[in-house]
Structure 1
Amino acid sequence: MGRHIIEEASRCLQCKRPLCSKGCPVGTPVNDMIKTFLEGDIRRAGELLFQNNPLSVVCSLICPHEKFCEGHCILGKKSAPVQVSDIENYVSRYYLEQFQPQRPVRDSNGTRIAVIGSGPAGLTVAFIMASQGFDVTIFESEEHIGGVLRYGIPAFRLPKDILERIREMLLKLGVKIRPNMTIGPVIGLDDLFRDEYRAIFVGTGVWNPRPLRIAGETLGHVHYAINYLKNPDSYWIGKKVAIIGAGNVAMDVARTALRKGADDVTILYRRGEEHMTATRYEYDYAKLDGVRFRFQTAPLEIVEGGLHCARTRLAIDEQGRTRVETLEQEREFFPADSIFIAASQAPRTNLTGMEIGRTGLVITDEEGRTSRDGVFASGDVVTGAKTVAEAVSRSKRSAQAMLQYLARQG
């Protein structure tokens, strides 16, 4: 493994204007990292990655690299791009295992910061604020930290030992963690400010599944994809599974179902293959695992033993916009023991006291400031479901806005 990584790193051209870094939402310093690694200082290389992105090891595993760093590598125009993800993972894993963080002692020590949610956005802000000496408390509604990283991404894509190591690092930085604590129903923003939290960060993600609103959606063999991924072992799914939707969550559910005993897993999507929201990488791996696909197929009604669906076609309306037209005369019955709905997610609406948009997303400015003074937000709860790298990038900006706010407060 080590030899392969060195050979791959040696392919890097050390471009003066690295397109790989420009293609990364969080601006990973690929050139500097690879150069430092090849010079024999893997610890410094890992430090470069971690300081730029505390979740670098996570991004190395689950980012759509073909769209970001590797997709912009100049070598990819004529041959294979440098496998930045492999190098980043090797260096980041080493650094994660070796790094022993020390909580800094500064004048800001003792200033309380609340971080609501411990997904990618919350973890990023917690690391940044704790490394600056602030007294950070994470409020997590689930038993363990990680948010979508733990409860929305299967272990075969993201080993959970990585999240345990991240937790250890946070604790060593002095971060306090309150699990099983949902802010909103019992404790609200006013209570946090009462207890002298000087700034509050909201990174609660998007966890409410969007229903299809079709007949049969409440039947016992129907499940929401995002809920299934939290604990697949608690579900009986049978041998034949149908999944409605074609995003990355749908791919994860399909691949997980096959690993949990299903023999026949089919994704049904009302548009064509070229319109899927899943990345090509996830689509290709789903096919390799044996997942089947039925495109241009729309669900009409769910019944015991399966669902009725119909063929679709794309049509152009009077305004020139493309829409999906259901051909109900071309109906068919699709048998299934279990049916999963993977039609995207929306935020939970637990928090009050700041402006929320019509879709439930928190409204902020470009730096993550909400309508309430001292409250900041970023990640999926602001943008809707995005990549981890995009959440980290926006959360770094929010953390800087928090630091500026605290400096003005004195």
Structure 2
Amino acid sequence: MAVHVINEARRCLQCKKPLCRLKGCPAQTNIPEMIRLFLEGNINDAGAMLFANNPMSVVCSLVCDHEAQCEGHCIQGRKGAPVQISSIEHYISDTYLDKVIMEHEPAKGQHVAIIGSGPAGITVAVKLAQRGYDITMFEKMDKLGGMMRYGIPDFRLPKTILDRYQVKLQELGIHIRPNTGIGTALTLDTLFRDGYAAVFIGSGVWRPRLLGVRGESLGNCHFAVDYLQNPDVYQLGDSVAVIGSGNSAMDVARTAIRKGSRYVTIYARHHEVSASRREFEYAQADGVEFEYNKAVDSITPQGPMLRERHFDEEGHLLSEDEPQLFHADSTIIAVSQQPKDKIVRTTTGLVTNEKGLVEVDERGATTREGVFSGGDVVLGPWNVVQAVKDAKKVADAMDEYLTRKREAASSSQPE
């Protein structure tokens, strides 16, 4: 692998205006500099730069939609194959993760609560802990990682990477409370009562979005977000119908095949899938079948009832046929997620929009004093790198807020 990565790095043109970074990377990773340092033998410097810019670099190198982002904007791709930036980034960041020394500024004496340990929560926790804040992370599940651990299959993101992250967070002095949801026994009011100066909500989107059709509660019907958390406890049978065509649907279908289902079909509403090209091609390679232009009428014990959809040349829906049964032992619905509302229901002053997403200003401040939010619970289900981009901005805003609060408290003290 090392020879392949080195050869790929040598193909980088070191563009003066690197579109891979400027247009392709939401986190603005300095890709030419990363490659230059790597080729000069300074892999640790390259890794340090990656981690400082994006603490989730090793994860992003595996799960980002590289064809639409960095690699999709590589100049080399105009006449041939783009530089495999993701492979280079993964080699560097994976090598560096265990070496990074988690240093921090002197303690500032302010406590910050992080709700959720997904990419947004980890990014904010690292950024603020490095600046000297005392961080406690609350995770409702038993292990760290949020949707990265419980929503992305092992064959795309090995869970050992997240275990290594936990070690680094603890080295930085971050306290982690597993199996502790906020909005049940503990609430935001409890956190402020106990002296937290600020709270970040990065609780993600864990509630499956319903189709709103008859049969979604049947015993042979499941939701993608539930299935991917622990697929080993499901007995899907030989044939599986997957409703939806995004990356989550691809993950479900490929997982079902790995767990023994022989005939797995994805049903898309339009004439193409919404997943990334790479994930679609991997699903095809794994043996997943695809049916297009299908609308769900209902779910039955024998499988979904689907309507054939007809479109004009401009893509406008013209008509739908009468529903027909598509036989399947199990049906899995993979049409997005939305936030749970436990935190909102147990908190005063926190406003959400019609989709249940937390409302924030341009810097991540919610409608309640001292509470910030970011990632999927604000943006909706998106991807790791977008959550990181959002979280970096919020971490800076929280630092400014906490600094003002600290200076105000200091100026009010009698001399």
Note whether the superposition's TM-score is higher than 0.5: yes
Aligned-partner Cα distance in 2 for 1:323–1:391: 33
SS of the residue 1:98 aligns to: coil
Cα deviation digits, residues 30-56 of structure 1 (max 9, x gap) = 111111111111111100100000000
Give 1:7's aligned residue: 7
Aligned-partner Cα distance in 1 for 2:238–2:138: 39
Aligned-partner Cα distance in 1 for 2:262–2:319: 29
Following superposition, the deviation at residue 154 of structure 1 comes to: 0.1
Following superposition, the deviation at residue 262 of structure 1 comes to: 0.4
Following superposition, the deviation at residue 387 of structure 1 comes to: 1.4
Query: What amino acid maps onto 1:345 in structure 2?
Result: Q
Identity level (%): 50
Q: 1:377 aligns with which of 373, 378, 382?
A: 373
Conserved? CA contact 1:310–1:326, under 8 Å: no
Cα deviation digits, residues 324-376 of structure 1 (max 9, x gap) = 455233x3211101100111111011113311111100001121111111111
Root-mean-square deviation (Å): 1.4
Conserved? CA contact 2:222–2:333, under 8 Å: yes
Give 2:98's aligned residue: 97
SS of the residue 2:320 aligns to: strand
Q: After alignment, is 297-306 or 142-151 more displaced?
A: 297-306
Give 1:347's aligned residue: 339
Aligned-partner Cα distance in 2 for 1:224–1:21: 36
Matches within 5 A, 1:198-347: 198-273=197-272, 276-314=273-311, 324=317, 327-329=320-322, 331-347=323-339
2:123 corresponds to 1:113: no
Conserved? CA contact 2:112–2:134, under 8 Å: yes
Alpha carbons of 1:303 and 1:257: their partners in 2 closer, same or farther (altered >3 Å)?
A: same
Conserved? CA contact 2:107–2:133, under 8 Å: no
Q: After alignment, is 345-354 or 144-153 more displaced?
A: 345-354
SS of the residue 1:85 aligns to: helix
Conserved? CA contact 2:71–2:82, under 8 Å: yes
Q: How many residues align?
A: 401
Following superposition, the deviation at residue 309 of structure 1 comes to: 1.4
Conserved? CA contact 1:298–1:326, under 8 Å: no
Aligned-partner Cα distance in 2 for 1:361–1:399: 19
Alpha carbons of 1:369 and 1:228: their partners in 2 closer, same or farther (altered >3 Å)?
A: same
Gaps (5+ residues) in structure 1? none
Conserved? CA contact 1:114–1:197, under 8 Å: yes
| TM-score normalised by length of structure 2 | 0.94
Query: What amino acid maps onto 1:333 in structure 2?
Result: L
Query: What amino acid maps onto 2:10 in structure 1?
Result: S
SS of the residue 2:342 aligns to: coil
Following superposition, the deviation at residue 323 of structure 1 comes to: 5.4
Aligned-partner Cα distance in 2 for 1:149–1:105: 29
Give 2:352's aligned residue: 356
| TM-score normalised by length of structure 1 | 0.95
Gaps (5+ residues) in structure 2? 407-415
Give 1:399's aligned residue: 395
Aligned-partner Cα distance in 2 for 1:84–1:315: 39
Alpha carbons of 1:189 and 1:74: their partners in 2 closer, same or farther (altered >3 Å)?
A: same
Conserved? CA contact 2:105–2:130, under 8 Å: no
Following superposition, the deviation at residue 100 of structure 1 comes to: 3.3
Aligned-partner Cα distance in 2 for 1:105–1:122: 20
